[in-house]
A and B are shown apart, each in its own frame.
Chain A
Amino acid sequence: MAESRTMTINMGPQHPATHGVLRVLLELDGENVAKSEPHIGYLHRGIEKLFETMTWRQGLPLTDRLDYTSGVSNNLAYCLAVEKLLDIKIPKRAQYLRVMMAELQRIAAHLLWLGTHALDLGAMTVLFYTFRERETVLEILELATGARITPSFIRIGGLADDIPDNFLPRVTAFIEDLPKRIDDYETLLTNNPIWKRRTKNVAAMSAEDCINYGVTGPVLRASGVNYDVRKAYPYTGYDDFDFEIPLGKNGDVYDRYLVRLIEMRQSGRIVRQAVEKLPAGPISAVDAPQIVPPDKKDVGTDIASLIRHFKIMQEGFEPPRGEVYASIESSKGELGFYVVSDGSNKPYRVRVRPPSFINLGALPKMIDGVLIADIVAAIGSIDIVLGEIDR
């Protein structure tokens, strides 16, 4: 009997198709993967520890730096957790704007994913198209938030500011345009025989395996499990909107691709409804003066507002003792914040439930026995962001 031999090689951390500093230690039997082990932590910045050194408000910009492709979503998840702890109500206008921005951000994140994923598999053209549209979304977000990647716009108690006048027309123009653009991507990929052969029946996961590995987001739904936090535990007014959750059947790379494309169309639908239904009114909780800072113009004219401003900026606020978990459906999966308060102005513990980290945990199962070229397809299809994995 012939002696069986395996070869151990490193994929990454400097590899263009690992989307950051991911290193996968591969044991190869010929061209097939016998065993694999992801090595992570190259981007670890101790964000959970840093939260404990800052007031509740000051921690917000740290969330931008988790999943740096969807800053607004991260802000939203953190704010929802702190708001749940404080038990405050957010006005409808702020909620709808949050939904609008989170969905625009999802579109931007999925566009980035689609471009890079197609590039990994050799379809370079798609990247140029998707980055054009992503740029439009980032410009729209920049118009309101002042930043492209690190918005910190959603604040505890509401929003940092109201939207500028030219915001809604530009959102509408983009949303009108988007379905045609997605049709363009589909002509390039969906029925492309090369694309299908690279993605169909590659790195498939069964529904049971996905649940057991804690996988969430498009990867879970591509396996046919109907779990979306927006529907399962509606937050920030998602139950006012009409949208569908796309589901796949086979749980392979191709289905994940289809699920994300339909999700972009559904996000467009949600944004359109949010624009149409957007009510007038305040953009921050009105009954929480200890939490929401006063208007800038009041700070210059009114001594009480000035004192309030200083108090909030320097001391912050003190939520009641307790612990809550709040989660959202980010573009990667369920992004949760588990916050523990000891009644002081700083968090006692902030635990981030990062979807990418837990989804990546299923990678060894996913690529067990596949060809080495399919690893790239599998990693791309999970849609990982190392900033969130390593925190």
Chain B
Amino acid sequence: MDSRSAGNLLREKFPEAVAGIEEFRGEITVTVETRKLLEVMTFLKENKELSYDMLLDQAGLDFPDRDPRFTISYLLHSMKFNNKLRIKTQVAEGFAVDSVSAIWKAADWMERETAEMFGITFKNHPNPKHILLTDDFVGYPLRKDYDVKGPNFDQPFQVCLDE
């Protein structure tokens, strides 16, 4: 089944969960309600007509003016039908999203990265630790309000002062 029919099938199966289907440059994006995410994702992987067996990528997006503020974008690939489908879900600051790492192991590291970069919590994540940043890092670098200049290197670091 191609990604366009996959989107339509999703809307048919989960009318209350699918908030919208968009197409841009031949890529299909389906927006899904956060509370239904796990159910929809399991369906996408397990259904024989869809079989999205690979999670290719996950990306966080920060829109400070929007409510809910954050968008998480998942890119799925089906080995059997050779097509991609993007699933998006929106989450407000301070709220959690279900982890999909039980469905795709690949999500483990991707979610750790999205979590530390945006400050999004993933519920039931097996190993919720920082991955690229140090354990004592403060702040969420990929948020739009995070200053790109970083710390003031002329001042001593907080860590050094404590020791």
The interface of chain A, by Cβ under 8 A from chain B, is 40-41, 44, 46, 48-50, 52-53, 84-85, 87, 209, 211-214, 225, 227, 232-233, 322-325, 327, 334, 336, 338, 340, 348-349, 351, 353, 357-358, 361-362, 365, 390-391
- Residues on A with beta carbons closer than 8 Å to the beta carbon of B2: none
- Residues on A with beta carbons closer than 8 Å to the beta carbon of B146: 49
- In contact, A322 and B24 (Cβ under 8 angstroms): yes
- 1/0 per residue, CB under 8 A from A, across B49-82: the answer is 0000111110101100000000001010001001
- Residues on B with beta carbons closer than 8 Å to the beta carbon of A53: 148
- Residues on B with beta carbons closer than 8 Å to the beta carbon of A213: 104-106
- Residues on A with beta carbons closer than 8 Å to the beta carbon of B141: 46, 49
The answer, among A225, A322, A361, for a CB contact under 8 Å with B25, is A322
Q: A44-B133, A211-B54 are in contact. Are A324 and B27 (CB under 8 A)?
A: yes
Q: A212-B105, A232-B82 are in contact. Are A336 and B57 (CB under 8 A)?
A: yes
- Residues on A with beta carbons closer than 8 Å to the beta carbon of B6: none
- In contact, A338 and B105 (Cβ under 8 angstroms): no
- In contact, B109 and A357 (Cβ under 8 angstroms): yes
A-B contact list, 30 entries, CB within 8 Å? A41-B130, A48-B142, A49-B148, A50-B148, A84-B25, A211-B53, A211-B54, A211-B79, A212-B53, A212-B54, A212-B104, A214-B54, A227-B79, A233-B82, A322-B24, A322-B25, A323-B24, A323-B27, A324-B24, A325-B27, A325-B84, A327-B56, A336-B56, A340-B61, A348-B61, A349-B61, A358-B109, A361-B106, A365-B105, A390-B132
**Nearest CB in chain A to that of B127: its residue:** A37
The docked-state distance in angstroms from the alpha carbon of A336 to that of B56 is 9
Q: In the complex, which of the residues B29, B110, B132, B148 has the most CB atoms of chain A within 10 Å of its own CB atom?
A: B132
- Residues on B with beta carbons closer than 8 Å to the beta carbon of A357: 109
- Residues on A with beta carbons closer than 8 Å to the beta carbon of B84: 325
**Nearest CB in chain B to that of A41: its residue:** B132
The docked-state distance in angstroms from the alpha carbon of A209 to that of B104 is 10
The answer, among A214, A232, A325, A365, for a CB contact under 8 Å with B86, is A325
- In contact, B108 and A361 (Cβ under 8 angstroms): yes
Shortest C-beta distance, B119 to chain A (Å), equals: 14
**Nearest CB in chain A to that of B112: its residue:** A361
The docked-state distance in angstroms from the alpha carbon of A187 to that of B56 is 37
B106-163 interface (Cβ within 8 A of A):
106, 108-110, 117, 130-134, 141-142, 146, 148
- Residues on B with beta carbons closer than 8 Å to the beta carbon of A44: 132-133
The docked-state distance in angstroms from the alpha carbon of A358 to that of B57 is 9
- Residues on B with beta carbons closer than 8 Å to the beta carbon of A214: 54-56, 104-106
The answer, among A49, A349, A362, for a CB contact under 8 Å with B59, is A349
Shortest C-beta distance, B16 to chain A (Å), equals: 25
Q: A46-B141, A50-B148, A336-B57 are in contact. Are A41 and B131 (CB under 8 A)?
A: yes
**Nearest CB in chain B to that of A320: its residue:** B24
Secondary structure class of chain A's binding surface, majority of residues: mixed
Q: How large is the interface on B (under 10, 10 to 19, 20 to 34, 35 or more residues)?
A: 20 to 34
Shortest C-beta distance, B144 to chain A (Å), equals: 8
The answer, among B55, B59, B130, for a CB contact under 8 Å with A338, is B59
The answer, among A48, A209, A325, A361, for a CB contact under 8 Å with B109, is A361
- In contact, B148 and A325 (Cβ under 8 angstroms): no
Extra contacts besides A87-B25, A211-B79 (8): CB < 8 Å? A49-B146, A211-B53, A214-B105, A324-B27, A325-B75, A349-B142, A358-B106, A365-B105
**Considering the complex of A and B, which 4 residue pairs feature the smallest CB-CB distances, nearest first?**
A214-B106, A351-B59, A41-B132, A353-B57
The docked-state distance in angstroms from the alpha carbon of A211 to that of B104 is 9
The answer, among B57, B106, B110, B130, for a CB contact under 8 Å with A212, is B106
- Residues on B with beta carbons closer than 8 Å to the beta carbon of A365: 105
- Residues on B with beta carbons closer than 8 Å to the beta carbon of A340: 61
- Residues on A with beta carbons closer than 8 Å to the beta carbon of B54: 211-212, 214
B31-48 interface (Cβ within 8 A of A):
none
The docked-state distance in angstroms from the alpha carbon of A209 to that of B84 is 19
- In contact, A40 and B104 (Cβ under 8 angstroms): no
- Residues on B with beta carbons closer than 8 Å to the beta carbon of A324: 24-25, 27
The docked-state distance in angstroms from the alpha carbon of A351 to that of B29 is 16
The docked-state distance in angstroms from the alpha carbon of A390 to that of B73 is 20
- In contact, A338 and B75 (Cβ under 8 angstroms): yes
**Nearest CB in chain B to that of A212: its residue:** B105
- In contact, B53 and A353 (Cβ under 8 angstroms): no
- Residues on B with beta carbons closer than 8 Å to the beta carbon of A49: 141-142, 146, 148
The docked-state distance in angstroms from the alpha carbon of A87 to that of B110 is 29
- Residues on B with beta carbons closer than 8 Å to the beta carbon of A50: 148
The docked-state distance in angstroms from the alpha carbon of A348 to that of B53 is 29
**Nearest CB in chain B to that of A210: its residue:** B54
- Residues on A with beta carbons closer than 8 Å to the beta carbon of B132: 40-41, 44, 390-391
The docked-state distance in angstroms from the alpha carbon of A232 to that of B83 is 9
The docked-state distance in angstroms from the alpha carbon of A322 to that of B73 is 13
